[in-house]
Amino acid sequence: MRRQIRFIAVCLSLAVAGVPLRADDTAALKAQLSALARDARYPEAMAIAQKLADAAKSTNRESKDYAEAVSWLAFLHQVQGEVAASGALFREAYEIYSKVLPPDDPDLATSLNNLGFYYCQIGDFRQSEILYRRSLDIRERVLAKNDPAIADSLNNLAELYKSEERWDEVVPLLNRALEIRTRSLPPNHPIIAGTLQNLAGALETDPSRGSFEEAQRLLEKALEIRRSSQRADHPEIAGTLSKLATNLFNQGKYKQAEKRFREALALRRASQPPHHPDIASTLVGLSLNQIEQGKPEEAEKLLLETLEIRKEVFAPTADQFAESYRYLGRAQLHEGRTADALESIRKGTSIILARAARREKAVEHLTEHLQILAAADAIKTADHKADFDEGFTIGQNAEQSETARAVAGMAARFATQDERLQKLVSELQTIEATQTVLERHLTDDLAKPPEERETDIRKQLDDYEKKRIEINNEVKSAFPEYFDLVNASSVTTEDAVKFIKDDEALITIVSGADRTYVWALTKQGFAWHEANVSKIWLENAIKTLRATLDTEDLKRNITASSGLFDLGLSYQLYSQLLAPLEATFSSKAKLIIVPSGPLTSLPFQVLVTKQPKVLRPVLGDLAMYRDTAWIIREHAITVLPSVTSLKALRTLPKFAENRKPMVGFGNPQLGGVKSEAATRGAADRAKSSKSRGLSASMVDKVMDILRRLPDLPGAEEELRTVAKDLGATETDLHLGAAATKSAVKNADLSKFNVVYFATHGLVADDVPGLSEPALVMTPPDDPTDDDDGLLTASEVSQLNLNADWVVLAACNTAAESKPGARALSGLAKAFFHAGARAILVSHWRVDSEAAATLTTSTFGIRAKDPALGRSEALREAMLQQITKAPATPAQLWDAYPAFWAPFSVVGDGS
């Protein structure tokens, strides 16, 4: 399968601070310097800049004139690919400007912008963002509303966010930058072309927007502008040609792409120094194009040249080296030189693993490492354990989720018995979570004109950052091991085995672009394999399966001839992913599964382990679901966000004595639809089931929507039943009108073993303005910011829990934090952050009656046999529903997975 090129993003819109020209030789030299730079005659410009610097330095080294000359030198070093030299000069210029200029001077803003550019180029994105925002803040305060310099800042921030894969924040900033530039610059100005290129890049790389054809049109327009406004051999024309070639490659138009790559490369070699990093970037694109055309030997030569160029420009740990080594490994694999390919990609991987962040480009690198490793392992006759160990570590690093980090943070917090330190760490984690939310709000604001923005977000961020640094330093001093615990990225095979019990198997799954990798590990053995399953196929398969599981969708779409849950597709998933490893895990009663990507949104209990008699049943085949070979018949299943989560959760200290068994919140008073009679036919059961979620037809104002949700009187009985099994008191149940958001926030939740919510769950965009998942509580008569009837994920993360189990008996509580994110990144992540050790979550809009039956049965089973783990008790509850003999046609639905399989145990299921 063809792979999309994702080049390392380059930050743009570098500028030089200027001073009013004087009618003397210095003014004439500055004018000549500016003209030469615009025309890309950089060596001649460098000589003049050096002459200006020497003259200013002889007069006063700490002067504005000298800082301006140094800025020009830095700029000229940068455009000629001399990154390290440019950085030192940008810093020197900024230090002088900060001494001799007032704090809101536009030239100081330009110096901040330039220094931010340098940090972006070397991969220090946090420092780059700080400098870019300071520059933008000054420019918006002192410059005209549509000054092009403001557009430069917006453009640079957008390109920075593209580098960080913050896709939904990129396009609004670029659109505003383009709006400013089109108002203040002529239509054929090269800067307009640059903005069009950046918009094209956002369209190509954003998975939610991807439109290569539209991007191609933007790039062709940018090329037209540049050719009409710049000299024929200008290096910026080469840059546009290279981007257009990359676009054509990503569309599979290899012949056209090769022509453009070679045109760009010839122009770069003619107009730029031989070791310019832009030449290396174009060589990389051409090499990948040649691999796709069956010419890996030529590609290898091109990639070796990129390494030679990059050695002259970048530090050995730069991401650009990882890119070259990755693609060199790909070329060598296509040549059949598997050992060389593995050696090459290992060099790149060592650079990737040294980085804290695992962005999509890094994940693609690591999954390609797995592909080469699998090819090497396939031809080996011995020592498969070493390859398993290497792949096991690489796979963990390829899948570092926000939820896994929340688990690590929670475990690190409780690793100390010092309550003061626990509170400090909790405050630190809350500040970091709040900063993330505020930073997103600030980015949204930056896409608006200044007069339409909130005024205090920057101040809030500054205040939180000061507090974060203060607490961070205190934690470093008193609890230094905290940072090692929270930043752990992987565990070794030997370490993982220590935390696996005799009756458990750990299964981890990593989905790459073209292949999926699965590992199985037990006390007694190990195995792994490469499945010929692409991420796109997985996404489509799981989307198909989920389409027949949501109870609201069933109500709308069920007919006598409509397809029900696709047993054949479920069996195909099992056969391709897990069946090859059955010899390792089949004897184990409990499976601990670490899924990735699209697999996080499907509960594994719906996988089918034997060929079904009917692949795609219809309504008349409903009874066959009772006899289906579900995997849950053989194994209890727990889901973990990462392998490191297993170690984190199983090294937590035991709970103190004298804790309270349970606190519950349920059946919020909403004033919606009342319960209906339950006696219906088989088809009617699906059509009339009442779900704990928002119907798609409810789209009015938020409070009106909440008040029209159906009441859940069965939730009160559910909570009372579970409370009785746990020995909890009625006073710890907050029901009906008492099930408020304020009651949750005001309760001391840290003293309860079980925290239980039986209510409606909403996902992002379910109601107008809801940008994250939430639990529905009783809405107040007069809503406020503190209590609006919705307990959102960000508010959950600020709660203080120390819970053995959080039960979210509501709809879609395993859902993502926002559309397009991975599952378990919303409420599940928030409750782990707040202090949960295990969570019961749902994967779709659940039937209220079925939800109550499953949860009360689970706790009832554990009450009778306390030795049973959470996942085992849930398994028995599911099996009771599957195997129960139907007394009426409606009860045939009990064995249909929409009703028995919505819940998963996430965390420690033992």
Question: Confidence band (pLDDT; 50, 70, 90) for 351?
Answer: very high
Q: pLDDT tens, 750-763?
A: 999 999 999 988 88
CB of 864 closer than 8 Å to CB of 437:
no
Question: Confidence band (pLDDT; 50, 70, 90) for 379?
Answer: confident
pLDDT greater than 70 at residue 897: yes
Q: Which of 214, 150, 201, 144 is nearest to 177 (CA)?
A: 150
Taking CA atoms, 352 is separated from 329, 346, 356, 369, 419, in Å, by: 15, 10, 9, 11, 37
Give the pLDDT of residue 21.
Answer: 35
Question: Confidence band (pLDDT; 50, 70, 90) for 697?
Answer: very low
Give the pLDDT of residue 301.
Answer: 98
The structure tokens listed for 29 are 């030299």
CB of 636 closer than 8 Å to CB of 589:
yes
CB of 154 closer than 8 Å to CB of 5:
no
Give the pLDDT of residue 356.
Answer: 60
pLDDT greater than 80 at residue 24: no
- CA dist 74 and 499 (Å) reads 54
- CA dist 712 and 739 (Å) reads 12
pLDDT greater than 90 at residue 909: no
Give the pLDDT of residue 757.
Answer: 95
Reported pTM: 0.81
Give the pLDDT of residue 681.
Answer: 35
- CA angle (519 as vertex; 515, 520 as ends), nearest 5: 150
CB of 42 closer than 8 Å to CB of 136:
no
- How many percent of the chain have pLDDT more than 90? 49
Alpha helices in 797-866 (DSSP H): 827-834, 848-864
Q: pLDDT tens, 766-812?
A: 666 677 888 999 988 877 777 888 898 888 988 989 999 999 998 87
pLDDT greater than 80 at residue 5: no
User: Reading across the β-sheet that carries 752-758, which strands appear in turn?
Assistant: 526-531, 516-521, 504-511, 590-594, 636-639, 903-907, 838-842, 805-809, 752-758, 660-666, 733-735
CB of 520 closer than 8 Å to CB of 505:
yes
Angle between helices 296-313 and 277-292 (to 10 degrees): 160
The structure tokens listed for 371 are 């592909």
Q: Can you tell me the mean pLDDT for 16-38?
A: 67
- CA dist 413 and 116 (Å) reads 34
**Those residues with Cβ within 8 angstroms of residue 887's Cβ, 6 or more apart along the chain or in another chain:** none
Give the pLDDT of residue 839.
Answer: 94
Give the pLDDT of residue 381.
Answer: 73
Q: Report the Cα 512 to chain-centroid distance in Å.
A: 15
Q: Which of 387, 383, 353, 359 is nearest to 372 (CA)?
A: 387
How close are the terminal C-alpha atoms of the chain, in Å? 41
- How many percent of the chain have pLDDT more than 70? 88
Residue 681 has a CB neighbour count (10 Å cut-off) of 12
pLDDT greater than 60 at residue 239: yes
Taking CA atoms, 58 is separated from 54, 65, 101, in Å, by: 6, 11, 20
Please tell me whether residue 735 adopts helix, strand or coil conformation.
Answer: strand
- CA dist 907 and 874 (Å) reads 14
pLDDT greater than 90 at residue 403: no
Give the pLDDT of residue 436.
Answer: 73
CB of 606 closer than 8 Å to CB of 641:
no
Q: pLDDT tens, 246-273?
A: 999 999 999 999 999 999 999 999 999 8
pLDDT greater than 70 at residue 817: no
Question: Confidence band (pLDDT; 50, 70, 90) for 3?
Answer: low
- CA dist 401 and 822 (Å) reads 9
**Those residues with Cβ within 8 angstroms of residue 613's Cβ, 6 or more apart along the chain or in another chain:** 624
Q: Which of 132, 387, 315, 181 is nearest to 199 (CA)?
A: 181
CB of 839 closer than 8 Å to CB of 686:
no
- CA dist 225 and 244 (Å) reads 14
